[in-house]
Amino acid sequence: MTGLADVVMEMRRREPNAEAVARAVLGDLTTDEQKQAAYKAFVAFVQATCEALRPRAHSVVETAALLGVPDKTVYKMVEDGTLGHVRLGKHIRVPDAEVERLLAAAVAA
């Protein structure tokens, strides 16, 4: 974590009361400009947090669910090279970027 997340985590470590942490981070928001700036910063923080929590690779079952196809279809795509993947021992993982590439190609077709 970097930036605001680090600040919040450190403050939370020192002060377990979430409301006190919010007040300390946001300060006294009295003007509309202050409220709007705080809202934009919070939205950016939530987006960054969601992106950081997003899985970078998916199992065959997860990939099938994302693509809306049966597991067998994903296995066939892996075997014929249509879908890039990584093998970790016996496990197959499909990078998120590969799922995005396949979806983009399907939309473009």
Domain span at residue 27 reads: 4-53
49 with 18, same domain: the answer is: yes
Q: What is the pLDDT of residues 9-46, one digit of tens each?
A: 666 677 666 677 677 667 767 788 877 888 888 788 77
96 with 75, same domain: the answer is: yes
49 with 11, same domain: the answer is: yes
What's the DSSP call for residue 80?
T
For residue 1, name the pLDDT band (cuts at 50, 70, 90): very low
pLDDT of residue 16: 66
CB atoms within 10 A of CB 13: 9
Q: What is the pLDDT of residues 90-105, one digit of tens each?
A: 999 999 999 999 889 8
94 with 80, same domain: the answer is: yes
pLDDT of residue 43: 80
Alpha carbons 97 and 109: distance in angstroms, whole number: 18
pLDDT of residue 62: 94
Alpha carbons 19 and 35: distance in angstroms, whole number: 16
62 with 103, same domain: the answer is: yes
Q: What is the pLDDT of residues 45-87, one digit of tens each?
A: 777 777 777 778 999 999 999 999 999 999 999 999 999 999 9
Alpha carbons 46 and 65: distance in angstroms, whole number: 25
Q: List the beta bridge partners of residue 95.
A: 57
67 with 84, same domain: the answer is: yes
pLDDT of residue 33: 84
Nearest Cα to Cα of residue 77 among 99, 55, 97: 99
Of 63 and 106, more confident? 63
Q: What Rg do the C-alpha atoms of the chain give, in angstroms?
A: 21
- Total domains in the fold of the chain: 2
